[in-house]
Amino acid sequence: MKYARRTGYIMALIIFLLVTAGPFIWAFVISVTPDHAMFAPTSDLFPKKIIFDNYAELFSGGQRGNRFFMSMYNSLRATGITLCIGIPIAMLSAYVLSRMEFRGRKVIKNLLLCTMVIPVMATIIPLYRMFAVGDMLDDIFWLSIVYVSSYLPMAVWLISNYFATIPKELEEAAMIDGCGRAASFFRIILPISYPIILSVTLIMFLNTWSQFQIPLILASSMETKPMAIVVSEFMTKDTIQYGLIAAAGMIALIPPALAALIFRKYLISGITKGSVKG
Amino acid sequence: MKKKILPYLLLTPMILIMGVLVFYPIIATFSYSLKKWKLTAPGDIRFIGIKNYQDILQSDSFWYSMQNTIFILLFVVVFTTIVGCLVAAFLKIDVKWSGLLLALAILPWALPPFVNGILWKFVFFSGYGFLNKLLLGIGFISQPIEFLGGRWSLLLVISIVVVWRSVPFMALVCLAGRQSIPGELYEAAKIDGGSGWKIFRHITLPLMLPFVGVGLTSTSVTAINVFDEVVALSGYSDLGKNILMESYLTTFTFLDFGKGSAMTYIVMLFALILGIFYLRSLNKEVEY
């Protein structure tokens, strides 16, 4: 019985590893395979010769390489702006919604939650028009603000749920000791909420790094296009260079993969806390 | 007086952003959807009532996309649930490298969906991609299969990729649900002589249902809104398009803003119905 269990576990482990890591490994193999051997009509899984030409092309400062790294830089800039604006607003709103009593609190909270399930396409046409009229198209700042609007419901929800678990007495004690509301927020609430803030920061970073639909419509120049759009252009324009796409994909997934590996504790608690109240 | 204004004052930035960038556009989209409005005929913009909706519901192209959307939805929901629960059970087993496995398990969720699509394109590549090479190698087939060439096989591939990306969330939610059940419940049940199946049926299942519900609805909303993977696997072609792609093509390729808006409203309604369940399960407290 014990033996059967062990074998079962090892089988499950192998299947899990194959299915989870397999696509990454295969994309890496493609990225180091010479073009002519890539889809050669043989059933050999691995190339006879390994080349790093595709990576060299991306790093050597050629036209495609430049476009790719420019797009990574754009994604990074958008992440920066999104976080600088999104996190403070989310924290402030979460604090008000979880700690203050006022008319319409429930309505605002529920309206905010509702927007979580609205698809991007339902808002993008008027946004496109609005941005075209206001000369805001193709501007990384306004693009980031649109990202913020799509993350706020999730962020406010996560943070206010966390604030709700902090005992009110803690603040009340501080206020009796002469702390103002603002001071008690910065000195008491903020220091103990760092886990959730880290979780929200990570989720916002990963989402911004993934953006595709919004910039597809709102960003069109090399100075604003994010990573996913530029990689998709490698695919559809003129000749398709699969090796290059694979190499670009491998590089593009380093930041999110590192974030997921290093901060997995915060990511997991963020995902599960956001999904289930309690 | 000061105290009453303060909360609203502090909420202003959030209300401003959400109002201008989400709520106003949703209403505007609805008003667009009631207009004849093509960018190719800029002089001819007028109110036509529900004609856009009628046209859409009568077009074959819409029903083709609708079928695709429903195929993806059903496949993704069923398989994400099954695989997600299995992965959760697998990850629950305590071994030395549990943490590492967990990190690996959330990787597909953390990656850009477009990159996910690319990774899998190489696996299912119609010529000599990984799967074809493998199947040829073991002598299962003699000619490479065109995975991305036919409608249903393409949809199948899209669904598999979306399942791969949705499983981590489902597994984590199941794991969280399982961990929230107090161990005393199981001990009590064992003392009372409950069998394995009975314990599962009367304790594990009912207490985990709300958690699975959250995963289920969130997965459904994801499945309806698949876009990036479709582009990565088949480009902006008609073969595997879902309603979202149809609405994108109508709006930004054929420049028919009126019809495109009407179509996004249909998608949104679809998502909203599922979303209501999501919100309700989010708001529900889990009681023991």
Question: Do A20 and A98 reside in the same domain of the chain?
Answer: no
Q: Is A15 part of a structural domain of the chain?
A: yes
In 3D, which of B177, B222, B180, B101 has the Cα closest to residue A264? B101
Fill in the DSSP letter of residue B238. S
Considering the domain boundaries, does residue A150 fall inside one? yes
How close is the nearest chain A Cα to the Cα of B130, in Å?
7
CA distances from A122 to A89, A161, A246, B244 (A): 24, 28, 32, 10
Which positions in chain B touch A111 (Cβ < 8 Å)? 18, 23
First to last CA, chain A: 38
Q: H-helix or E-strand containing A69?
A: helix A63-99
What average pLDDT does chain B have?
85
- Interchain CB contact of B284 with A (< 8 Å): yes
CATH code (residue A222): 1.10.3720.10
- One domain for residues A17 and A82: no
Contact A64, A57 (CB under 8 A): yes
Residue A134: phi, psi to the nearest 5?
Answer: -85, 10
β-bridge mates for residue B46, sequence order = B36
If you search the block for the tokens 């087939």, which residue do you land on?
B141
Beta strands in B119-261 (DSSP E): none
* CB of B113 less than 8 A from some CB of A: yes
Please tell me which of the candidates B14, B102, B123 has its beta carbon nearest to residue A89: B14
Instruction: Give the range of the structural domain holding residue A3, as residue numbers without chain letter.
Output: 1-51
Q: What is the pLDDT of residue B102?
A: 87
Give A62→chain B minimum CA distance, Å.
22
pLDDT in tens, B75-97: 999 999 999 999 998 988 888 88
Phi and psi at B47, nearest 5°, equal: -75, 125
Q: Nearest 5 degrees, angle CA B52-CA A130-CA B246?
A: 35
Residues of A in contact with B268 (CB under 8 A): 118-119, 121-122
Per-residue pLDDT, A277: 42
How far CA A271 is from CA of B101, B110, B116, B214, in Å, comes to 17, 11, 20, 12
Does A240 share its domain with A124? Answer: yes
> Are residues A267 and B6, on separate chains, in Cβ contact within 8 Å?
no
Which are the contacts of A255, defined by CB distance < 8 A and separation ≥ 6?
Answer: A209
In 3-state terms, chain A is what percent helix, strand and coil (to 5)?
A: 80, 0, 20
pLDDT at B287: 39
- Please judge whether A100 and B22 are an interchain contact, meaning their C-beta atoms are less than 8 angstroms apart: no
Model pTM score: 0.89
* pLDDT score of A73 more than 90: yes
Mean pLDDT computed over A141-165: 90
B215-A19-A119 Cα angle (round to 5) = 35
8 Å CB contact between B53 and B262: yes
CA–CA separation, B242 vs B267, rounded Å?
Answer: 10
Residue type (1 letter), B231: V
pLDDT-derived band at A43 (thresholds 50, 70, 90) equals low
Interface test with B, best of A7, A100, A118, A185 (most B CBs within 10 A): A118
Which residue in B249, B269, B256, B254 sits closest to B32, CA to CA?
Answer: B256
Q: Do A38 and A82 reside in the same domain of the chain? A: no
Position A59 in a domain? no
Cβ–Cβ gap B279/A119 under 8 Å: no
Phi then psi for B35, rounded to 5 degrees?
A: -115, 150
The amino acid present at A78, given as its one-letter code, is A
Residue A84 has pLDDT above 90, yes or no: yes
Strands (E), chain A: none
**What does the pLDDT read at residue A236?**
65
Q: Is residue A57 part of a domain?
A: no
Residues A71 and A41 in one domain: no
The whole-number pLDDT of residue B22 equals: 93
Rounded Cα distance, A123 and B261, in Å = 9
Is A89 in CB contact (< 8 Å) with chain B?
yes
Closest CA of chain B from A76, distance in Å: 14
CB contacts < 8 A (A, B): 265
Distance from CA of B21 to the nearest CA of A (A): 7
Looking at the fold, whether A29 and A101 belong to one and the same domain comes out as no
Per-residue pLDDT, A237: 55
DSSP 8-state code for residue B286: P
Rg (CA), chain B: 24
Which residues of A fall within a CB distance of 8 Å from B125?
39
Tokens coding A200: 């929200």
| ipTM field | 0.88
Instruction: Say yes or no: A100 and A227 in one domain.
Output: yes
Q: What HEC string does B158-176 produce?
A: HHHHHHHHHHHHHHHHHHH
| Average pLDDT of the segment spanning A62-71 | 87
pLDDT(A252) > 60: yes
Q: What are the backbone dihedrals phi and psi of residue B36, each rounded to the nearest 5 degrees, phi first?
A: -85, 115
Q: Pick the more confident residue, B103 or A277.
A: B103
Contact with chain A for residue B131, Cβ under 8 A: no
Q: Please give, rounded to a whole number of angstroms, the shortest distance from the CA of B196 to a CA of chain A.
A: 16
| Same domain, residue pair A27 and A129 | no
Q: What is the DSSP letter of B126?
A: T
Count of helix runs (H) and strand runs (E) in chain A: 16, 0
**Residue A159 sits in the same domain as residue A211:** yes
> Each residue of A206-234: pLDDT tens digit?
999 999 999 999 998 888 899 999 988 88
Predicted local confidence at residue A278, as pLDDT: 35
Contact between B214 and A19 using a beta-carbon 8 Å cutoff: no
- Over pLDDT 70: what percentage of chain B? 95
Q: How far is residue A223's CA from residue B263's CA, in Å, rounded to a whole number?
A: 32
Assess whether A133 and A243 both reside in one domain: yes
A255 and A195 in a single domain? The answer is: yes
Residues of A in contact with B7 (CB under 8 A): 96, 100, 102, 105
> Which residues contact residue A23 at a Cβ distance below 8 angstroms, ignoring those fewer than 6 apart?
B119, B120, B122, B123, B164
Average pLDDT over residues A65-92: 93
CB B251 to CB A125 under 8 A? yes
Do residues A46 and A71 share a domain? no
First-last CA distance in chain B: 43
Question: Is residue A151 one of the residues assigned to a domain?
Answer: yes
The answer on pLDDT for B288 being more than 60 is no
Average pLDDT over every residue of A244-268: 88
Pairing of strands B35-36, B46-47: antiparallel
Where does the pLDDT of residue B200 fall: very low under 50, low under 70, confident under 90, or very high at 90 and above?
A: confident
Q: Which residues of B touch A96 (CB under 8 A)?
A: 7, 10-11
pLDDT at A239: 61
Indicate the SS3 state at residue A49: coil
- Could A20 and B108 be called an inter-chain contact, meaning their C-beta atoms sit closer than 8 Å? yes
3-state SS, residue B46: strand
Pick from A26, A122, A126: CB nearest B122:
A26
- Restricting to B residues 182-241, those with a Cβ less than 8 Å away from any Cβ of A are 210-211, 214-215, 218, 221, 224-225, 227-228, 231-232, 235-236
* Percentage above 90 pLDDT, chain B: 31
Q: Go through the domains of chain B in sequence order and give each one's CATH number.
A: 24-283 (1.10.3720.10)
pLDDT band at B167 (very low <50, low <70, confident <90, very high): very high
- Please tell me whether residue B47 adopts helix, strand or coil conformation: strand
- Rounded average pLDDT over B39-51: 83
Question: Residues A106-147: pLDDT tens digits?
Answer: 889 888 888 877 878 889 989 998 999 988 888 999 999 999
Task: Say which range, A184-198, A210-224, B12-26, B269-283, has the weakest mean pLDDT.
Answer: B269-283
> What does the pLDDT read at residue A264?
84
Select the more confidently predicted residue: B15 or A5: B15
Question: Burial level of B217, CB count in 10 A (0-12/13-18/19+)?
Answer: buried
Q: Check CB contact of A40 with chain B, cutoff 8 Å.
A: yes
